[in-house]
Amino acid sequence: DAKTTQPPSMDCAEGRAANLPCNHSTISGNEYVYWYRQIHSQGPQYIIHGLKNNETNEMASLIITEDRKSSTLILPHATLRDTAVYYCIVSRGNYGQNFVFGPGTRLSVLP
């Protein structure tokens, strides 16, 4: 599975959009981009995933560049409860796939 690169930490003001970048320059054509987050003392929580097209759900938006070598997770109106470690993972869409977690980005939402 392809490796990802994320900034170790970011700050965001409450109520503003949080834009979390991820580089995955070695992604292959059949690999998806997944985003999870982990709030302190909890298990990772699924946020969103995509292959080529931009995706949006009730939690966030995922923007994938045309060459698929990078992506951005957007939390449109960050709240204090969005403070967490955010993981970007690339993985094949096969049943029973193996996720490889990096250290992620620690997002701090500031009042």
Partner 1 sequence: EAGVAQSPRYKIIEKRQSVAFWCNPISGHATLYWYQQILGQGPKLLIQFQNNGVVDDSQLPKDRFSAERLKGVDSTLKIQPAKLEDSAVYLCASSVRLAGGDTQYFGPGTRLTVL
Q: Where do contacts with partner 1 occur on this chain (CB under 8 A)?
A: 32, 34, 42-46, 49-51, 87, 91-104
26: helix, strand or coil: coil
C-beta closer to partner 1: residue 46 or 54: 46
d(CA 74, CA 9): 15
C-beta closer to partner 1: residue 47 or 109: 47
Per the CB < 8 A criterion, the answer to whether 83 and 11 are in contact is: no
For residue 71, what are the β-bridge partners?
22, 64
Nearest approach, Cβ of residue 94 and partner 1 (Å): 8
Nearest approach, Cβ of residue 57 and partner 1 (Å): 11
